[in-house]
């Protein structure tokens, strides 16, 4: 059982994780359309990771004897100025997700819901890596500037990212 307030907040987080997946799916499509296939791959893997986050929240809600309250998912942007713009938007978005998970954790602690608090620790830790990855790529893109060769080299690097399902969701 979850309090009404915590259930609402978890449902809200579920919506945000699915929106995140939607946002990165859109970025993947855009990157592919401008010939950056490696970047398209990177964002496609990110889309898959976000769906894992969403399903973790979904499963947790049900495991506590509650049910989800699925809401409409907002449409993500479909046009971007550059790869740097995409990664800057990604980092800014992830920072809002981190803030949202922190608020959820504060709420779980205030309500002394230890099970939810323990569940949220995985997401808290995951956000450190998410933001770090984005910052690293933004740093490289700033160094590359207008150098097309450098951009293609980075795109090749981003092509190597593979989706690794966490043990709980592995087939
Ligand atoms: Fe699920 Fe990128 O936070």
For ligand 1, whether the C-beta of 20 sits within 6 Å is yes
Tell me the pLDDT tens digit for each residue of 89-100: 999 999 999 999
Distance 147 CA to ligand 1 centre (A): 30
Q: What is the CATH number of the domain that holds 90?
A: 1.20.1260.10
Query: In b/e form, how buried is each residue of 157-167, taking b as 16+ CB within 10 angstroms?
Result: ebeebeeeeee
Tell me the pLDDT tens digit for each residue of 89-136: 999 999 999 999 999 999 999 999 999 999 999 999 999 999 999 999
Is residue 154 a part of any domain in this protein? Answer: yes
How many independent structural domains does the chain possess? 1
Is residue 100 a part of any domain in this protein? Answer: yes
Q: Give me the pLDDT at residue 168, please.
A: 61
Is residue 168 a part of any domain in this protein? Answer: no
Ligand 1 atom nearest to 98, measured from its CA: 3
Q: Residue 88 and residue 119: Cα distance in Å, rounded?
A: 29
Range of the structural domain that residue 129 is part of: 4-159
For ligand 1, whether the C-beta of 94 sits within 6 Å is yes
Is residue 135 a part of any domain in this protein? Answer: yes
Percent of the chain topping pLDDT 70: 98
Is residue 164 a part of any domain in this protein? Answer: no
Ligand 1 atom nearest to 127, measured from its CA: 3
Tell me the pLDDT tens digit for each residue of 28-54: 999 999 999 999 999 999 999 999 999
Split at pLDDT 50, 70, 90, the class of 171 is: very low
Q: Among 88, 49, 50, 64, which residue's Cα sits nearest to residue 10?
A: 64
For ligand 1, whether the C-beta of 17 sits within 6 Å is yes
Distance 81 CA to ligand 1 centre (A): 22
For ligand 1, whether the C-beta of 130 sits within 6 Å is yes
Distance 161 CA to ligand 1 centre (A): 16
Is residue 170 a part of any domain in this protein? Answer: no
Mention every residue, 6+ apart, whose C-beta is less than 8 A from residue 12: 100
Ligand 1 atom nearest to 97, measured from its CA: 3
Is residue 144 a part of any domain in this protein? Answer: yes
Question: For residue 144, is pLDDT > 50?
Answer: yes
Is residue 126 a part of any domain in this protein? Answer: yes
Tell me the pLDDT tens digit for each residue of 53-67: 999 999 999 999 999
């Amino acid at each position: 059982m979850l309090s009404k307030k915590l259930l609402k907040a978890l449902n809200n987080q579920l919506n945000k994780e699915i929106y995140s997946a939607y946002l990165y799916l859109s970025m993947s499509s855009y990157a592919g359309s401008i010939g950056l296939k490696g970047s398209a791959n990177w964002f496609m893997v990110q889309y898959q990771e976000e769906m894992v986050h969403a399903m973790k929240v979904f499963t947790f809600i049900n495991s506590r004897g509650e049910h989800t309250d699925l809401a409409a998912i907002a449409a993500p942007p479909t046009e971007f100025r550059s790869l740097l713009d995409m990664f800057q938007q990604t980092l800014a978005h992830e920072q809002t997700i981190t803030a949202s998970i922190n608020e959820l954790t504060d709420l779980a602690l205030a309500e002394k819901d230890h099970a939810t608090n323990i569940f949220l620790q995985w997401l808290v830790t995951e956000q450190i890596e998410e933001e770090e990855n984005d910052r690293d790529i933004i740093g490289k893109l700033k160094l590359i500037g207008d150098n097309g060769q450098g951009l293609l080299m980075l795109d090749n690097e981003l092509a190597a990212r593979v989706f690794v399902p966490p043990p709980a969701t592995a087939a």
